[in-house]
């Protein structure tokens, strides 16, 4: 058996960041920006009104009040998006909407509430010939370039692109962004016993939960899942799929068929084809693992051959695949990952497999105020989370995996956790 770190360092020594690509704005969310972005448009792009009202010359209405209103001739209408702008001379006003370009001649805006006109659609669309102004105009103008000018920096290389960065890119003239693209990860389940979820399984059959687990998990992890279906235990099926579909993906995950069974098809086909090493990793669950590179002559992609048991699949993705996805996405440089482990305390005891690091699905409980003792009365501190196994440690217990909030990570030299023992947990999606 090799350690988790040994297996992981082989994986991380193999995968490389995907090449930079320009992608449409909506595809860029959650990826890493690969180059600085500068503005090609100013924000705002032109001087425009901050209010619905009337564009005027400030001097004309300087002394306007309810008692001494000023009447101006209305010479035009400027809705948002207007292309032709009337010039405003002394004694004149142009009706203007929020976001509409300021007309030449005007240097201020009187909001509609400070006039004799009804606000909103209730006043009708017809343009009045004159308007009575009851308050001075203010400089309610949003100036061109107030936020930034063309050529100014907008987004720095290396940021994670989120909705606000996407809006900033759109406003400054960009429809695409240079990013480290999301890895496209193929998912392939193997096994003659698998059926579609929702069908009544025949004798010896079980629903294929690994495909939907992986496809949805990859989405959560920021990758693009690519369903590659299922193959049975017949080598020819798997062989042909591996030769024809590598062009669609940047990495491949298979499940099942990697341990010691006679019909372990993944191991059979890939051992013969070469490039993939099958090893026993000192972890529980997830001991039998395959990893390597697949090539079809044109492309070479990393392949993870995970064991078939569903809890093993989940744990393998958390521990082995996630760091590799981070490298493919350009998020890390492939140095040893620092799993974020939270200090907690066991609320009950459980057994651990000797010689393998255990990743046990657990629930988390927040201790109540003043609750500093465990079930056998020892002091465990007030602030630590309490962890409780969701069920046993069997890697087939996929239904109770749904209740897990974290994985308790127990080192391989520990054989028993007692209530009150310090444990560390890895939060999971
Ligand atoms: N003689 C030995 N037998 C086993 C060993 C061993 O060291 N020696 N290791 C055990 C461990 S640990 C694991 S984990 C499993 C891994 O087995 P395989 O990767 O070969 O997986 P399968 O045999 O194909 O399936 C195992 C289990 O998982 C179920 N399964 C498979 N695919 C799916 C799916 N898509 N959705 C839901 N469930 C799935 C399958 O029906 C089996 O019950 O090997 C042990 N055996
Ligand atoms: O390694 Mo297996 O995943 O223990 O059940």
Question: What are the pLDDT tens digits along the chain (429 aa)?
Answer: 999 999 999 999 999 999 999 999 999 999 999 999 999 999 999 999 999 999 999 999 999 999 999 999 999 999 999 999 999 999 999 999 999 999 999 999 999 999 999 998 877 889 999 999 999 998 899 999 999 999 999 999 999 999 999 999 999 999 999 999 999 999 999 999 999 999 999 999 999 999 999 999 999 999 999 999 999 988 998 988 888 889 999 999 999 999 888 888 999 999 888 889 999 999 999 999 999 999 988 899 999 999 999 999 999 999 999 999 999 999 887 666 677 899 999 999 999 999 999 999 999 998 876 655 555 555 555 578 999 999 978 888 888 999 999 999 999 999 999 999 999 999 999
Ligand nearest to the CA of 392: 2
Ligand nearest to the CA of 268: 1
Report if pTM > 0.95: no
The ipTM assigned to this model is 0.98
Is 289 touching ligand 1 by the criterion CB < 6 Å? no
Is 419 touching ligand 2 by the criterion CB < 6 Å? no
Long-range contacts of 224-230 (CB under 8 A, 24+ apart): 224/182, 224/183, 224/184, 224/185, 225/185, 225/187, 226/184, 226/185, 226/186, 226/187, 227/186, 227/187, 228/186, 228/187, 228/188, 228/252, 229/188, 229/189, 230/188, 230/189, 230/190, 230/191, 230/194
185 contacts 251 by C-beta, under 8 angstroms: yes
Residue extents of the structural domains in the chain? 4-18+182-329, 21-44+150-180, 48-142, 341-427
Probe residue for ligand 1, chosen from 207, 288, 313 as the CB with the greatest number of ligand atoms within 8 Å = 288
Pairing type for strands 283-284 and 251-255 reads: unpaired
Ligand nearest to the CA of 259: 1
Is 268 touching ligand 1 by the criterion CB < 6 Å? no
Is 208 touching ligand 1 by the criterion CB < 6 Å? yes
Cα of 281 from ligand 2 centre, angstroms: 10
258 contacts 278 by C-beta, under 8 angstroms: yes
Ligand nearest to the CA of 286: 2
Cα distance from N-terminal residue to C-terminal residue, the chain: 28
Taking the C-alpha atoms of residue 48 and residue 140, their distance in angstroms, rounded to an integer, is 8
Cα of 255 from ligand 1 centre, angstroms: 9
Pairing type for strands 276-280 and 92-96 reads: unpaired
Structure tokens given for 182: 């999301």
Is 111 touching ligand 2 by the criterion CB < 6 Å? no
Identify the pLDDT of residue 224. 96
What is the arrangement of strands in the sheet containing 108-111, beginning at the earlier edge strand?
108-111, 53-56, 92-96, 70-78, 130-133
Identify the pLDDT of residue 43. 98
Question: How far is residue 297 CA from its own chain's centroid?
Answer: 33
Identify the pLDDT of residue 429. 95
Identify the pLDDT of residue 178. 98
CA-wise closest residue to 134 among 108, 119, 107, 115: 115
* Partners of residue 115 on adjacent β-strands: 133
Cα of 344 from ligand 1 centre, angstroms: 31
Is 290 touching ligand 1 by the criterion CB < 6 Å? no
CA-wise closest residue to 280 among 271, 291, 272, 269: 291
Cα of 282 from ligand 2 centre, angstroms: 10
List CB contacts of 347: < 8 A, sequence separation 6 or more.
365, 374, 375, 386, 387, 388, 419
Is 284 touching ligand 1 by the criterion CB < 6 Å? no
**Atom 3, ligand 1: which residue's CA is nearest?**
260
Ligand 1, closest atom to CA 255? 32
Is 308 touching ligand 2 by the criterion CB < 6 Å? no
Residue 239, SS3?
helix
Probe residue for ligand 2, chosen from 287, 314, 316, 352 as the CB with the greatest number of ligand atoms within 8 Å = 287
Could you name the CATH architecture of 4-18+182-329?
3-Layer(aba) Sandwich (3.40)
Probe residue for ligand 2, chosen from 284, 352, 354, 357 as the CB with the greatest number of ligand atoms within 8 Å = 284
Taking the C-alpha atoms of residue 242 and residue 292, their distance in angstroms, rounded to an integer, is 13
Is 420 touching ligand 2 by the criterion CB < 6 Å? no
User: The domain 341-427: what is its CATH number?
Assistant: 2.40.340.10
User: The domain 21-44+150-180: what is its CATH number?
Assistant: 3.90.105.10
Could you name the CATH architecture of 48-142?
Beta Complex (2.170)
């Amino acid at each position: 058996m090799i350690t988790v770190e040994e297996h992981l360092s082989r994986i991380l020594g193999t995968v490389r960041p995907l090449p930079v690509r320009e992608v449409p704005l909506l595809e860029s969310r959650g990826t890493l920006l690969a180059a600085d972005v500068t503005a090609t448009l100013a924000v705002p792009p032109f001087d425009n009104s901050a209010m619905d009202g009337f564009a005027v010359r400030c001097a004309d209405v300087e002394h306007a009040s309810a008692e001494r209103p000023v009447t101006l001739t209305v010479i035009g209408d400027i809705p948002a998006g207007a292309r032709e702008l009337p010039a405003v001379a002394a004694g004149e006003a142009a009706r203007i909407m929020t976001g509409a370009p300021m007309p030449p001649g005007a240097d201020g805006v009187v909001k509609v509430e400070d006039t004799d006109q009804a606000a909103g659609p209730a006043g009708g669309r017809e343009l009045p010939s004159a308007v009575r102004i009851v308050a001075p105009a203010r400089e309610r103008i949003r100036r061109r370039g107030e936020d930034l000018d063309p050529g100014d920096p907008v987004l720095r290389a290396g940021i994670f692109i989120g909705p606000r960065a996407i809006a900033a890119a759109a406003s400054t003239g960009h429809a695409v962004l240079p990013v480290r693209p999301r890895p496209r990860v193929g998912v392939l389940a193997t096994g003659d016993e698998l059926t579609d979820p929702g069908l009544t399984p025949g004798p010896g059959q079980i629903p294929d939960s690994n495909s939907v687990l992986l496809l949805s998990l990859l989405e959560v992890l920021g990758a693009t899942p690519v369903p590659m279906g299922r193959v049975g235990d017949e080598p020819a099926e798997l062989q042909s799929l591996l030769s024809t579909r590598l062009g669609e993906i940047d990495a491949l995950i298979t499940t099942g068929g990697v341990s010691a069974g006679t019909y372990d098809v993944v191991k059979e086909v890939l051992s013969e084809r070469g490039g993939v090493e099958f090893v026993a990793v000192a972890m529980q669950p997830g001991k039998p693992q395959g990893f390597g590179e697949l090539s079809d002559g044109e492309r070479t992609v990393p392949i993870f051959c995970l064991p078939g048991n569903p809890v093993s699949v989940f744990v393998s993705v958390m521990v082995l695949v996630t760091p590799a996805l981070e490298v493919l996405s350009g998020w890390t440089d492939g140095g040893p990952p620092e799993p974020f482990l939270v200090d907690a305390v066991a609320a009950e005891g459980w057994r651990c497999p000797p010689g393998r690091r255990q990743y046990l699905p657990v629930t988390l409980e927040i201790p109540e105020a003043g609750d500093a003792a465990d079930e056998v009365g020892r002091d465990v501190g007030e602030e630590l989370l309490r962890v409780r196994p969701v069920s046993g440690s069997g890697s087939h217990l996929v239904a109770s995996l749904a209740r897990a909030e974290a994985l308790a990570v127990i080192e391989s030299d520990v054989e028993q956790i007692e209530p009150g023992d310090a444990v560390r947990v890895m939060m999971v999606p």
